[in-house]
Amino acid sequence: MAVEFEIKIDNCDKEIQTVFEQTAYNKGAMGLFVSKLAIVGDSHAIEFVNWMNDKLVVESKNYNYYLYKNIQNEEDDLRILKEDRFLEILRMVDYSICGIEIDDEKPFSMTKIIRKTKDGNILSRELRRDSGGVGEFFAWAVQIFRVVYENKMVFADEVDRVLNPILAERMIAFINGKDHKGQFVFSSHNVLHLDLKNYMKEQIYFVTKKS
């Protein structure tokens, strides 16, 4: 069913007139139509755009995510890294980790990872000198924090680059075991990530790409 509507723009500001004129001629230079409706004050559009700005997080990097975060170094990430609850998430990658000393200048490389060995010795190592897996999960743990404690919706591409099946199971169990309204949506090429013990069948989608 097609829906037609008419918008009168005669009394609009020149800026808003330009927005709708470019939309009408399909020039594609002004972004999503919903953002245009938000500009002119549509309450539903404003609510949706606010949700996209405040709740939606999309992470799709074709290169090493740990290196990306090391370069990006957002202030909001630093706030999360200093939360005690962040350590709880990080320990999923290695339960011998008992603490972290955050470096304010270079948190994704110079932060010290503190471990306690079986015989009680305390070891400290800079993140850049730790394993690649720990470095990658350190960066991704920030997004897991946002899902569980800030009710964000995170879209992650090819998460199997970072999470082996055991770590993935721990992470999903952690997310499912917390009371929150966030969502962690990810793509994967590894079928070992997909089982009905950790997911409901309605949560798994198989996608094929036509050649």
Domain range spanning residue 42?
14-54
Per the model's pLDDT, the better-predicted residue between 135 and 69 turns out to be 135
Query: Residue 209 falls within a domain, yes or no?
Result: no
Same domain, 124 and 156: yes
Beta bridge partners of 97: 115
Same domain, 118 and 19: no
pLDDT (tens digit per residue) in 1-58: 444 545 566 666 665 666 566 655 554 444 556 666 666 677 777 777 677 667 666 5
Please choose, from the candidates 71, 63, 120, the residue with its C-alpha nearest in 3D space to the C-alpha of residue 96: 120
In terms of domains, do 48 and 69 share one?
no
**CATH code for the domain in which residue 183 is found:** 3.40.50.300
Same domain for 156 and 143? yes
Residue scoring higher pLDDT (192 or 134): 134
**Are 167 and 187 in a shared domain?**
yes
Collapsing DSSP to helix, strand or coil, 114 comes out as: strand
Question: For residue 159, is it within any domain?
Answer: yes
For residues 184 and 81, state if they share a domain. Answer: yes
- Structurally, the chain folds into a number of domains equal to 2
Backbone φ and ψ for 210, nearest 5 degrees, come out as: -75, 140
Can you give the pLDDT at residue 84?
93
The CA distance from 99 to 129, in Å, is 16
